[in-house]
Amino acid sequence: MPLRLRPSVLDDAAREGLSTSRAAYGARAAEYTRQLGTMAAVAEDDRLLVEAWADRVDGVLADVGCGPAHWTAHLASLGHEVTGIEPVEEFVTHARRAHPEVRVEPGSFQTLHAAAFNGILGWYSIIHTPPVEMPLLLERAHQALRPGGSLLLGFFASDQVEAFDHAVTTAWYWPVDELSRLLIAAGFTVLDCGTRQDAGVRRHGWIESNRS
């Protein structure tokens, strides 16, 4: 039987886990930004996938866990109304300096306002969420979307849920089927999903779902 914890306990655990990953990313924010903080570092397949998703969303977007906000700025440059939301202070500072034309606010999935967005992009921003906390995160995403709103998740895919030593802090692999099951339990309808294996790197996964 899966472990079930009270929402208040999960909230406390999520805050503790977020604090740990926030400190780890804060310590390496400059390095991360240099290596991965531009669209030049984004795989072409990912760029096309996210752009096509954003074009299907009619309304306001949130890029949650936006990091240096390169995706936020890119989507804004294509004409989308988008807000970057990021828990790491160092990333927020960089994003506001590098992309003054876009709105970037401190926050996380846990702090999103109810029914605030038509689309949420969680592009690799869920990878440090422990499995026991994932249902609550997805519930928060569901609450933050307006009816019919869309959620696009990017993550590291595998055949089983398991932790691995990410360069910054512990991260988790997810099977597409298992994460889809949790999305459905949180009130989403899964529309499309897939994986991609590029040479020399971990397998990528993505799921597009709508708030039911």
Token representation of residue 37: 């903080």
Of the pLDDT bands very low, low, confident and very high (cuts 50, 70, 90), residue 36 is confident
| Strands 145-156 and 204-211, sheet pairing | antiparallel
Q: What is the rounded CA–CA span in Å between residue 51 and residue 152?
A: 11
Mean pLDDT, range 171-176, rounded to an integer = 96
Mean pLDDT, range 49-76, rounded to an integer = 98
Q: What is the rounded CA–CA span in Å between residue 190 and residue 150?
A: 10
The single residue listed with the structure tokens 């055949």 is 159
Q: Report helix, strand or coil for 5.
A: coil
pLDDT of 166: 77
Whether residue 10 is predicted with pLDDT greater than 60 in this model: the reply is no
Of the pLDDT bands very low, low, confident and very high (cuts 50, 70, 90), residue 212 is confident
Domain regions of the chain by residue span = 7-211
pLDDT of 29: 61
| Strands 61-64 and 82-86, sheet pairing | parallel
Q: Answer positive or negative: Cα dihedral of 107, 112, 118, 119.
A: positive
Q: Superfamily assignment of 7-211 in CATH?
A: Vaccinia Virus protein VP39 (3.40.50.150)
